[in-house]
Structure 1
Amino acid sequence: MISLLALLAGFLLDLLIGDPHFLYHPVRLVGALISFLEKWIRKLFPKTERGEFFGGILMAVLVIAVTTAVPALLVFGASFWCVQARFVVETILCYWLLATKSLKDESMKVYDKLAAGDLPGSRQAVSMIVGRDTAALDEKGVTKAAVETVAENTSDGIIAPMLFMAVGGPVFGWFYKSINTMDSMVGYKNDKYLYFGRFAAKLDDVVNFLPARLSGVLMVLASGLSGFDRANAWKIFRRDRKNHASPNSAQTEAVMAGALRIQLAGDAWYFGKLYQKPTIGDDLRPVEYEDIRRANRLLYATALLSLLIFSLVKILILALSGRM
């Protein structure tokens, strides 16, 4: 029950204050660890395909071990002090893992620039939350990029860590976050990371397989509750959820496209190279910058519905096991 209450409190803190910019976020420490280990390991292993691949495995093992061990030690230490201390520690650890308000705030910066007619400013704002090249995007391209990252990160940044925390507390949550952060930093299919980042990318595919699909179903349910086209969301989810090189990324993007009745994805530039990608959804109406606000409404509805369902399931399991 302590872990469940900590998840609820952490979720509430995230909704209220998000990530304060004046604090050094722990996820950035994980990123710094990844960068340090990458430089160190690349010096140790031969610069061959095999050497880079096994170097990437070593990096992944070390990052996961450190990122999981630190919160485990914090929770273990707080447990010896008192129940209240453990609750506070777990709450903070859960709060740091969630990104509902931050995702909304960052995407709304793009919205604000578009609403003000500042296309260059909107390109700069969206470049902070997507990995593609943004310098040549028009208003439609900027909007699509923002909506797509809200959809994808609904799973990666909120539902998936929430699910892991509901199962095993913040320690499980940080286990997931270590893998997801590695994928975002080294999981690219370019010359630099094709072999070094392959293990991290495949591991991220594995740990996100169930959460991504569960997030898609939950988003379909939330689309009906928040006034969007639930029937079309379900239709596009079933039809287009595999229209991506990643087995997981299109799950929630498909629901978002269907719920908003727009077409997402398609060709995009990454690191100066054009990648041909299938579209997701039907072009039932033009994409407009108001879709960013609509995407955030669906984001919040999905997050709240997921928290409710995960909590009820957790309480039921605890009750049946006699631990309440």
Structure 2
Amino acid sequence: MISLFALILGFLLDLCFGDPHWMPHPIRLIGWLIQKLERLLRRLFPKTEKGELWAGGALVVAVLAVSVSVPVLLLLLANWVSPWLRLILETMMCYQLLATKCLKDESMKVYHKLAKGDIPGARHMLSMIVGRDTERLQADGIARAAVETVAENTSDGVIAPLLFMTVGGAPLGFFYKAVNTMDSMVGYKNEKYLYLGRCAARLDDLLNFVPARLSAWLMILSARMNGMDARNAGRIYRRDRRNHESPNSAHTEAVCAGALRVQLAGDAWYFGVLHHKKTIGDALRPIEAQDIIRANQLMMGTAFLALLLCSAIKGAVLALIFLLF
């Protein structure tokens, strides 16, 4: 019951306050741990394909062991002192595991620059939230990249953490975020991380399998609630949900593209190299800065629907346990 209240309160705190830069954040600490362990493991394991695969596996085990055991121990200690203290602590953990307001605020910084016609400023703001090169992008490319980021991160920044916290409270939420952070830091298919990051990347794909697909269907419902083209969203989802190297990333992007009646994805530059990618959606109209606002409306609606679903599931399970025992 405490975990359910903590989840709901944490969600509301995230909507109100987002991610203040002055506040110490556990995900930044996990990122710091990943960096330190990567350097150590590269020295300890042979610089061969097999050696880097083993190093990557050791990285995953070590990071997950720390990321889960620390919150478990803190919550046990807090509960020993007082259930109220545990509620407060787990609420803060749930709050910091979600990125709803942060995702909206950072993407809206891109929108405001575009609305003023400040293309260099929009490129700079976009570079804070995407991994691609932004120097070559014009207004439509900037808007497209921002919309894609909101759509993709609706799943792994909001819905997936909610699902994992519903199942296992804040500790399982940290398990998911640790894997997701490792994937974002070492999961690249380049010379440096092709083998060392493979274990983290594969585990991230596995953990996001269900959240990505649930997020897509909730986003279709959100499109209907927001007066967008839900029928086209469902059509594009069924057609284009596999148009991505990742088995999960295109699901919410496809729904968003269909709901907004625009085309997303396509070729992009990363670290000075042009990567050819499939497009997602149909260009029924040109993409515009206003689509960033629309994408955020879709994301917020999806987040609220997910919270209702997770709360209902958690409440039903708790009620069943109470009746049985």
Instruction: Give matches, 1:122-161, under 5 Å.
Output: 122-161=122-161
Q: What is the distance in 1 between the residues matched to 2:19 and 2:45?
A: 37
State the one-letter code of the partner of 1:194. Answer: L
Q: What is the distance in 1 between the residues matched to 2:306 and 2:232?
A: 21
Q: What is the distance in 1 between the residues matched to 2:103 and 2:201?
A: 22
Q: What is the distance in 2 between the residues matched to 1:93 and 1:113?
A: 33
Q: What is the distance in 2 between the residues matched to 1:254 and 1:150?
A: 12
Q: Cα deviation per residue 1:273-308 (whole Å; 9 max; x = unaligned)?
A: 111100000110000000001111111111011101
Q: Give how far 1:24 is off.
A: 2.4
What is the DSSP-based 3-state SS (H/G/I as helix, E as strand, rest coil) of the residue aligned with 2:23?
coil
What is the DSSP-based 3-state SS (H/G/I as helix, E as strand, rest coil) of the residue aligned with 1:10?
helix
Gap regions ≥5 residues in structure 2? none
Q: What is the distance in 2 between the residues matched to 1:21 and 1:128?
A: 14
Query: Which residue number corresponds to residue 218 of structure 1?
Result: 218
Q: Give how far 1:222 is off.
A: 1.0
What is the DSSP-based 3-state SS (H/G/I as helix, E as strand, rest coil) of the residue aligned with 2:274?
strand
Q: What is the distance in 1 between the residues matched to 2:247 and 2:261?
A: 22
Instruction: Give matches, 1:117-266, under 5 Å.
Output: 117-266=117-266
Gap regions ≥5 residues in structure 1? none
Q: What is the distance in 1 between the residues matched to 2:98 and 2:259?
A: 24
Q: What is the distance in 1 between the residues matched to 2:101 and 2:107?
A: 10
Query: Which residue number corresponds to residue 77 of structure 1?
Result: 77
Q: What is the distance in 1 between the residues matched to 2:34 and 2:8?
A: 29
Q: What is the distance in 1 between the residues matched to 2:302 and 2:46?
A: 46
Q: How many residues get paired?
A: 324
Q: What is the distance in 1 between the residues matched to 2:9 and 2:54?
A: 40
**1:49 correspondence with 2:57:** no
State the one-letter code of the partner of 2:204. Answer: D
Q: CA RMSD in A?
A: 1.0
Q: What is the distance in 2 between the residues matched to 1:67 and 1:320?
A: 30
Q: Give how far 1:321 is off.
A: 2.2
Query: Which residue number corresponds to residue 66 of structure 1?
Result: 66
* Greater shift in the superposed pair: 15-24 or 241-250: 15-24
Query: Which residue number corresponds to residue 87 of structure 1?
Result: 87
State the one-letter code of the partner of 2:164. Answer: F
Q: What is the distance in 1 between the residues matched to 2:138 and 2:48?
A: 40
Q: Give how far 1:149 is off.
A: 0.6
Query: Which residue number corresponds to residue 112 of structure 2?
Result: 112
State the one-letter code of the partner of 2:27. Answer: V
**1:18 correspondence with 2:18:** yes
What is the DSSP-based 3-state SS (H/G/I as helix, E as strand, rest coil) of the residue aligned with 2:117?
coil
Q: Give how far 1:208 is off.
A: 0.5
Query: Which residue number corresponds to residue 303 of structure 2?
Result: 303
Give me the TM-score of the superposition, normalised by structure 1: 0.99
Q: What is the distance in 1 between the residues matched to 2:255 and 2:304?
A: 17
Q: Cα deviation per residue 1:51-99 (whole Å; 9 max; x = unaligned)?
A: 1111111011100110011111111111111110110011001001000
Give me the TM-score of the superposition, normalised by structure 2: 0.98
Query: Which residue number corresponds to residue 280 of structure 1?
Result: 280
**1:315 correspondence with 2:315:** yes
Q: Give how far 1:271 is off.
A: 1.3
